[in-house]
Structure 1
Amino acid sequence: MPELPEVEALTDFLTEHLVGHEITRVLPVAINVLKTYDPPPMALERRTVTSVARHGKFLDIDTGGLHLVTHLARAGWLHWRERLPDGPPKPGKGPLALRVALENGAGFDLTEAGTKKGLAVYVVADPGDVPGIARLGPDPLADDFDEAAFAKLLAGERRQIKGALRDQSLIAGVGNAYSDEILHVARMSPFKQTATLKPEDVHTLYEALRTTLKDAVERSRGVAAGRLKAEKKTGLRVHGRTGEPCPVCGDTIREVSFSDSSLQYCPTCQTGGKPLADRRLSRLLK
């Protein structure tokens, strides 16, 4: 799933390639991705892109008062084309969900792999009209998101820190992968309860949050849209690396699997050498 660093990089890429260009065609291929119908996607045609922004994991293309907003979900992606194929795309069972064409022949495709569909596209006058954006918590890379603001957010929480970091209404933009990375940098168990965090724990977690995301954004900066997925994977230290040695201590990275996701962690770095039971709502094995 694209998270804050990848969507930030896509924002930079599209700012360079879209701003100042006119949208000539918007072609929905998979109707289920459209979450708004008035105005219709065609209302974006003959409008010029004025800016591109990020809201958490949402991508926002502004055409001067009318916005094309998308959330790429778990298996969605944006593919930039210097030259789009001639002729309209054919509806079918393929991954193509929506195509946007520019006056210079370039454009992009939104695609989604797999059978579980979550890719969402909105056409709105105000990004705040998108329910997911309206519910977003603060951006962890915002200038005013200091340690005091972070501590205040966590003060009212009574749950596992992994779930708190992934909650978009609490902190915008962090998903499964980067929450694993942040907790590894902080040397903290994903199942540690927020209520048990001491001031020094909050400080450590805040520093890990900011440095992990900033480093990932810097690695992605300037990378073409088509290479961002590979760049993300190479930069991850524990997420998706079950069975590999921890790059910090050399212990074997372990996994806890759930019904629709999994997390990875290092026992030596994060849980005092004790493996976590591989089941939902697991606690440390004694």
Structure 2
Amino acid sequence: MPELPEVEALAEMLRERLTGRAIRRVDVGTISALKTWSPAPADLVGRPVTEVHRHGKWLDVATGDRPTATDSPAPHLVVHLARAGWLRWYDTVPSTPVRPGPSPLALRVVLDDASGFDLTEAGTRKRLAVHLVNDPLDVPAIASLGVDPLGPDLTVERLAALLGSTNQQIKGLLRDQGKIAGIGNAYSDEILHAARTSPFALTRSLEPQDVRRLHEALRRVLAEALGAARGRPARELKDAKRQGMRVHGRTGQPCPVCQDTVREVSFADSSLQYCPTCQTGGRLLADRRMSRLLR
């Protein structure tokens, strides 16, 4: 799943290429991806793109008024790529018509210079979400987002307050979009490895020095990942993300810090990776559905 660094890199790329260009056409390939009915895709046609934002893992393409008419509020095209969605950029959009059906192509946006992008989704579990709204906060998942982890509001004190507000496993809190927006399964593994913290540690068990170490690791891991992603073509971002991982997705390989073997805990539809030496004092985490730290 694309997380904050990849989504921010996509937003920056789109901001550079879309801003000031008018939307010529919007074609829907997968009806189920469109989660709203008003405004309609046709309401985007003829409007200039004024800005591209990121909200957590959401992309937000903002439009302006059409030059020849006074319109209702200009819509935002808001997208969540989910687990298997992606964005494909074209300097010249293919001339092949978009036809609704089982194709991975969910949505195509064509600009006035014939450039544009496709939103695609692989696999059979279709979760990519496209909303057309007058205000991004009309999307409940955006309205409920927590603090941006790379923004100025996530201070050590704010992180300590978030950790103290509940007593849950820390990996779950890092992935909770209502508390910290933009971190998913992969980067939570990487952050906890960098912070030398067990993914099953309870949030209220962290001492002040642990919180400071977690805050530093969180900011550093995400900033480094964003630096590696920034400026890359969209087609290279997935590989860049995989190549930058130290433990996530590297079960059975040596930890780059201590050379211990990276281990895995599997759940119903996901898994986590960690280093026992770096994170759990050498203890292994039980690999079962209701995993708990072996005692």
Shorter-chain TM band:
over 0.9
* CA-CA distance at 1:256 after TM superposition: 0.4
Partners of 2:159 and 2:272 in 1: how far apart? 23
* CA-CA distance at 1:242 after TM superposition: 0.6
What is the letter of the counterpart of residue 220 of structure 1? A
What is the letter of the counterpart of residue 275 of structure 1? L
Root mean square deviation, CA, Å: 0.9
Q: Structure 2 residue aligned with 1:121, among 106, 130, 147? A: 130
What is the letter of the counterpart of residue 264 of structure 2? E
What is the letter of the counterpart of residue 37 of structure 2? Y
**Secondary structure in structure 1 of the residue aligned to 2:198:** coil
Query: Which residue pairs with 2:35 in the alignment?
Result: 35
Query: Which residue pairs with 2:155 in the alignment?
Result: 146
**Secondary structure in structure 2 of the residue aligned to 1:239:** coil
**Secondary structure in structure 2 of the residue aligned to 1:80:** strand
* CA-CA distance at 1:90 after TM superposition: 2.2
Partners of 1:215 and 1:6 in 2: how far apart? 12
Q: Structure 1 residue aligned with 2:141, among 101, 119, 132? A: 132
Q: Residues 71-82 of structure 1 correspond to what in structure 2 (within 5 A)?
A: 71-82=80-91
* CA-CA distance at 1:84 after TM superposition: 1.0
Corresponding position: 1:215 with 2:217: no
* CA-CA distance at 1:162 after TM superposition: 0.4
Corresponding position: 1:21 with 2:30: no
Partners of 2:118 and 2:96 in 1: how far apart? 14
Q: Residues 184-199 of structure 1 correspond to what in structure 2 (within 5 A)?
A: 184-199=193-208
* CA-CA distance at 1:195 after TM superposition: 1.6
* CA-CA distance at 1:112 after TM superposition: 0.5
Corresponding position: 1:280 with 2:280: no
* CA-CA distance at 1:281 after TM superposition: 2.9
Query: Which residue pairs with 1:5 in the alignment?
Result: 5
What is the letter of the counterpart of residue 218 of structure 1? G
Deviation digits for residues 47-96 of structure 1, max 9, x if unmatched? 00011000000000001232000000000000001111114212221211
Q: Residues 197-276 of structure 1 correspond to what in structure 2 (within 5 A)?
A: 197-276=206-285
**Secondary structure in structure 2 of the residue aligned to 1:101:** strand
Partners of 1:203 and 1:106 in 2: how far apart? 46
**Secondary structure in structure 1 of the residue aligned to 2:151:** coil
Partners of 1:283 and 1:124 in 2: how far apart? 42
Give identity over the alignment, percent: 62
Partners of 1:170 and 1:102 in 2: how far apart? 36
**Secondary structure in structure 1 of the residue aligned to 2:281:** coil
Q: Structure 1 residue aligned with 2:173, among 156, 160, 164? A: 164
**Secondary structure in structure 2 of the residue aligned to 1:165:** helix
Partners of 2:289 and 2:216 in 1: how far apart? 28
What is the letter of the counterpart of residue 93 of structure 1? P
Number of residues of Structure 1 aligned to a counterpart in Structure 2 = 286
**Secondary structure in structure 2 of the residue aligned to 1:153:** helix
What is the letter of the counterpart of residue 292 of structure 2? R
Deviation digits for residues 107-159 of structure 1, max 9, x if unmatched? 00000011111100001110000111011001011123211111111111110
Runs ≥4 in structure 1, deviation > 4 angstroms?
none
Partners of 1:126 and 1:240 in 2: how far apart? 37
Partners of 1:9 and 1:157 in 2: how far apart? 32
Partners of 2:103 and 2:249 in 1: how far apart? 26
What is the letter of the counterpart of residue 117 of structure 1? K
Runs (5+) with no aligned partner, structure 2 = 65-73
Partners of 2:237 and 2:222 in 1: how far apart? 15
Corresponding position: 1:112 with 2:124: no
* CA-CA distance at 1:41 after TM superposition: 1.2
Partners of 1:231 and 1:31 in 2: how far apart? 31
Runs (5+) with no aligned partner, structure 1 = none
Partners of 1:28 and 1:90 in 2: how far apart? 8
Query: Which residue pairs with 2:57 in the alignment?
Result: 57
